[in-house]
Structure formats: C-alpha cells, structure tokens
Amino acid sequence: MRRESFRRATAAAVAGVLAAALGACGGSDGGDDDKVEVVFSYLWAGAEAEALEEIIADFNASQDEIEVRGVSNPDFQKQLTSMSGAQGSFDISDHFGNGVGAWASKGILAPLDDFIEADGLDTDDFVPAAMSQMMYEGQTYSMPIALHAQLLMYNKKLYAEAGIDGPPETTEEWAEQIAKLTKRDADGTITQLGYANAEINTSFTTLGVMFGGAWDDQSGRPTPADPGNVAGLKFYTENIPGTYGVAEVRDFTSGFGEYASAQNPFYVDKVATIIDGEWQSVFIDQYAPNLDWGVAPLPYPAAQPELAGTTQVTTSTLFIPRNAKHPEEAWEFMKYLLSEDAMVRFTLALGNLPARISLLDDPRYDTLPQFSTWLDALRSPNAQSLASTPWSAEYTSDLGQAFDDIAQQRTSPAEGLADVADKASSYAP
C-alpha cells in the first residue's frame, strides 16, 4: 500500500484489491482483513505503556485502514536483532537521540526525509537541540516525541534552615551554598550534602556545558578535553570530594535509597541540590508529595553571563527500521504520535517535555508542579544536546569510566578527560 492511499480514493481502491489478494494467498497480517497491521514495539512499560496503549487505541479508532498493535519490549538487544534480518518483526519503535547516529550508520534505520517532504511536516517547530540528534550525514532518521532538560533542583526546607533565600544565579554563589548546606557530625561524618549527582554521566556532562564546554565539535568528533568541560568537573571535585573527602562522600552516598522511590536522597532531606530532569515533577508528586522543593535555571560562571539559560537536552525518539514490513503505514502512525494533541497526551502521561516549540505554552502542562521552568529551558539558545554519532556508545562508555575515576579522585579532571581524548582519536571515522 502506498502512502498516497491515505489521500486518494483511487489509490485506496487499488490497495484494497492488493490487500484482498494477499489475504487470499495467506499473506494477511492477522486481525481485520481490511486493515494493515502495524507493529509498534516500544520500550516503555507499566503505567507509561498503559498511557501509550490508550493513544494507540485512539489512532486505531480514528481511521479504518491501519490497525496498530503495541508490544511492550524494553530490550535494546531484541530491537537490534530484529532490525538485522531481511524482514523485521516490527514497523516502528522508539529509542534515545544519542543512538540515532550509531544505528543509522549501520544501515538499519529508514530515512524519513521523503515522508517529511511529501507531507509537509514542519520540522522547524521541533526544538533545534533535539532535531540535531535526529540527523546523520544530512538525512533524518528519527523524530523526537519527548524531550528532557537538566535543571537545578533545590530543597526549600534545607535552604530555609541554612538561612539561604533562594537558588543560586552563578556557580560562585552555588559553591557558597553547597558549603552552607553540607552538614557533618562531631566525628566528621557527612549527614547532609549540599550537592550530589542524581546520575553521574548526565550530571557531569551538564556541568561541562554549564561552564561553556562542548563534548563534541560541529562535525560530531568528541572534544572531551574542552576547557569548559574540565572546569565543570573541577567545580565538582573542588566543592564535594576535594572538600569533604572521597571516602566520606562515598560512605554517605552509599546509603542512598532507590532513585524512583520514597527513599530518594533528595526527597528525604539528605541532599539539598541536584541536577535532574522534568520527570521529577511527576516523581515527587508520586513518592514525596509533601516535599517543599523548587527548580531553577542552571547557574553560570559570573564571568560568563552569556551562558545563562544553558541546559542539556536529551530526547526520546521514534524511528522506522529499514526492514519494516509496512513503512508507509508506520509513518502515518508516527505522524499521529507527533501531532500536537497526541504529543501533549503522551508527554503529560510520562511527565516529559514536548518536542514541539508550539506546545511550550500549552496550558495543559499547568497540571504538573513547577513544570514551566523546564518548558522555558527549551526556548534558550543555550539548550544543547550531545552529538549522535557512530561512536556514541563507545564515547559514552569511555566518559563513564573517566567520570568515575574523577569523582573518586583517582585522576584529575584535566588528566581524565585528556585520556578520553586520546581514546577518542582512534574511534572509527
């Protein structure tokens, strides 16, 4: 069935004849013989999957040519296995933006540019930092359905106890606040930390961009030793392990409860500030509804006010595998998911940010506590994302090891990131 069958009655009639012939030959995908079955293999599970299934049901009810069957399959390896064969087991799926380049370079993703052009999809309405991850060698291989932005979250109760009026504007102010918000008992044991990483890889890459660093150049080649990256990680080591001791910080953080639980250290007053994403608006309402918290733009170095509004953007994306049985129909469903109404419903259910600029003022997001600060962050010209390249996974792994060594002060930020730069020079072009 061709894409034009959704617009022209003559093509629809031809497609109907072909579908009937295939059905007579045992070629039906099952279900309603008058519909083409599109398999949507998605990574979400639990409540998120339930919300997605409602949207799938609405799409199926909205037209009579396609029947989407959702399959919750949170396993990247199974995705890759399916996409490596001559004919895949699904027609559309989701991934994360930093993986687009790696998968596109393997030839397992279908380019979307012809679909985008034919339907006049306005890609300018999508946040630029997100769209930059959708491209590989000048072609579009994925589209963003939801975004995530890193901002500074702070515990208002701990701020009040420390006599601090509000969140910092500059990194210098933040360093002073971290000192006031960190507590130790008589024997030096840490009982409260002014700042702790919610997740070290994302927190450290965000610290780098906060100080004007870039983890990739314009061509996508890794630039881990950028001076701004070094300065960001130096800020952490000087203000946390360098001040309070590696062993002491490790002992304190080893007692942290599960991230997605009521025992999250930020929820139970063990940590005063964190860098984290918009989903916390939903998490806090679920796990710590009585927490008095706030969220603010990331601080910037006082000498670099042009960095105000910096944030790191990550993306949840939709793609069509090159070996999909029904790519045209999969695109019709992808368009539906990317439509304004479906995108709002989907991101609200997950507590994520919309990928469309036109939705940043949508009043439906007012139901999520303090969500507007994250929405506003996407408007900033300093919103940026890591490059999506064939070597993204290798680079991420090397950075992860270096970040751990730096946090444990087994190496300095300059030495650790220089070592990653040496490794990155051998990544395949």
Residue ranges per structural domain of the chain: 35-147+315-381, 151-312+384-424
Rounded Cα gap, residues 372 and 353, in angstroms: 10
Cβ 333 vs Cβ 66: under 8 Å: yes
**Among 320, 310, 306, CA closest to 129:** 310
pLDDT at 7 over 80: no
Residues 6+ apart with CB under 8 A from 344: 354, 359, 362, 364, 365
The encoded tokens of residue 166 equal 């509000």
CA distance 210 to 307: 7
Identify the pLDDT of residue 79. 82
Kindly state the helix (H) or strand (E) to which residue 56 belongs, with its residue range.
helix 46-62
What is the Cα–Cα distance from 354 to 145, expressed in whole angstroms? 7
Closest Cα partner for 272 from 366, 169, 178, 132?
178
- Span 141-146, average pLDDT: 98
CATH number of this structure's domain 35-147+315-381, picked from the four choices 1.10.3720.10, 3.40.190.10, 3.30.70.100, 3.40.50.2300: 3.40.190.10
Amino acid at 344: V
- Predicted confidence (pLDDT) at residue 74 exceeds the cutoff of 80: no
Angle at 122 between CA 338 and CA 66, to 5 degrees: 40
Euclidean distance between CA atoms 138 and 20, whole angstroms: 39
pLDDT for 17 beyond 80: no
Structure confidence by residue, pLDDT tens digits, 198-255:
999 999 999 999 999 999 998 999 999 999 999 999 999 999 999 999 999 999 999 9
With contact defined as beta carbons under 8 Å apart, do 413 and 233 qualify?
Answer: yes
Q: So what's the pLDDT on residue 33?
A: 65
Q: What is the mean pLDDT of residues 105-123?
A: 97
Residue 396, H or E segment: helix 392-407
The yes-or-no verdict on residue 29 having pLDDT over 80 is no
- Residue 71: is its pLDDT beyond 60? yes
Asked whether the beta carbons of 221 and 207 are under 8 A apart, the reply is no
Question: What average pLDDT score do residues 311-336 get?
Answer: 97
- CA dist 363 and 84 (Å) reads 43
Tell the CATH superfamily of the 151-312+384-424 domain: Periplasmic binding protein-like II (3.40.190.10)
Query: For 10-19, 125-134, 247-256, which range has the lowest pLDDT when averaged over its residues?
Result: 10-19
Fold match, 35-147+315-381 / 151-312+384-424 = yes
Whether residue 298 contacts residue 235, with contact meaning beta carbons closer than 8 Å, is answered with no
Which pLDDT value is given to residue 32?
A: 55
Mean pLDDT of 328-337: 98
Contacts of 162 (CB under 8 A, 6+ apart): 177, 180, 181, 272
Phi, psi of 2 (to 5 degrees): -90, 160
pTM of model > 0.85: yes
| pLDDT value of position 84 | 85
Residue 6 has pLDDT above 80, yes or no: no
Q: Token pair for residue 263?
A: 């025992």
What confidence category does residue 401 fall into, taking pLDDT thresholds of 50, 70 and 90? very high
Mean pLDDT score of the chain, rounded to an integer?
91
Report strand pairing: 139-140 vs 135-136. Answer: antiparallel
pLDDT average, residue stretch 391-397: 96
Structure confidence by residue, pLDDT tens digits, 249-301: 999 999 999 999 999 999 999 999 999 999 999 999 999 999 999 999 999 99
